[in-house]
Amino acid sequence: MSYIYLYLNIFTIFFPLVLSFDKRVHFYTNWRYLFPAMAVTALCFIAWDMAFTREGVWSFNPDYLVGLYLGNLPLEEVLFFITVPYACVFIYECLNTYITREWLQPYAPAITWFLVIANLAIGLFFWGRWYTMLTCLLVPVLLVVYYGLFRYKKMGRFYLAYLVHLVPFLLVNGVLTALPVVLYNNAHNTGVRITTIPAEDTMYSLLLLLMTIIIYEFLKQKAEAPANKVTAALVN
């Protein structure tokens, strides 16, 4: 029982890793874009996590940890920023491969504006509650960055992957907050829960996925640009 957080990390990445060699998705061929994206995102979130842990925004229950730490973060929390982005981008690519219909792309602008306005309003209303404030104010920033780089291209795909990822997210975070493995200081959040999960976790997870996807798609686009120029020249 004491290794439950480690087991959750293994569970999160096991099937995406094994299925990375699926003949249609061939996800492993995108590792050269994914791993740098994951590394940058992990460094940002680990720094954030260390600061919030130091300031008592959240803490970790040692009863469910193996006892190894990087600074003030348990090993399992560091692994979280590897296993979760990997699994989420795997979901993203699987949906891109197996679902050809653009279910959400027509609504991407409306969804984006809703997220920007709603998060700005919540972040400002709960000014001083650090988890709520920082998470909600960063969501519009990253959405603007995405728009600046890609406009609304594939934004519907991102939202679809985000919605699908909520299923394993609720399962894993439900365990982490129900035991609890992670303990939240309610002075720094709204106190609103989805069962035992702080509502802010849904936007925190969106940030984690969105930052990874932005870097991942940017690196793919940059690598594919020379090939596209050659193809265009041959056609012309």
What confidence category does residue 226 fall into, taking pLDDT thresholds of 50, 70 and 90?
confident
What's the pLDDT score for residue 1? Answer: 57
Assess contact for 75 and 69: CB atoms under 8 A. Answer: yes
Q: What local confidence, expressed as pLDDT, does residue 181 receive? A: 97
Mean pLDDT of 161-169: 96
In this predicted model, what pLDDT tens digit does every residue of 13-57 receive, in sequence order? Answer: 999 999 999 999 999 999 999 999 999 999 999 999 999 999 999
pLDDT at position 236 = 54
Contacts of 163 (CB under 8 A, 6+ apart): none
Contact, 53 vs 70, CB < 8 A? no
Confidence of residue 228 (pLDDT cuts 50, 70, 90): low
Question: When comparing pLDDT for 15 and 224, which is higher?
Answer: 15
Q: Measured between alpha carbons, how far is residue 119 from residues 12, 138, 143 in Å?
A: 28, 8, 11
The string of pLDDT tens digits covering residues 125-154 is 999 999 999 999 999 999 999 999 999 999
Q: What is the mean pLDDT of residues 156-177?
A: 96
Cα distance between residue 32 and residue 124, in whole Å: 38
Alpha carbon distance 214, 105 (integer Å): 17
Residue 224's pLDDT is 86
Amino acid 227: pLDDT: 60
pLDDT of residue 172: 95
- Which pair of tokens denotes residue 174? 């439900």
Q: Read off the pTM.
A: 0.93
Q: 75-130 pLDDT, tens per residue?
A: 999 999 999 999 999 999 999 999 999 999 999 999 999 999 999 999 999 999 99
- What's the average model confidence in pLDDT over 207-216? 98
pLDDT at 229: 57
Beta strand pairing status for 58-60 and 182-184?
antiparallel
DSSP state of 107: G
The label of the residue with tokens 């600074």 reads 71
Taking the alpha carbons of 161, 231, 222, 20 in that order, is the dihedral positive or negative? Answer: positive
Calculate mean pLDDT across residues 213-231: 83
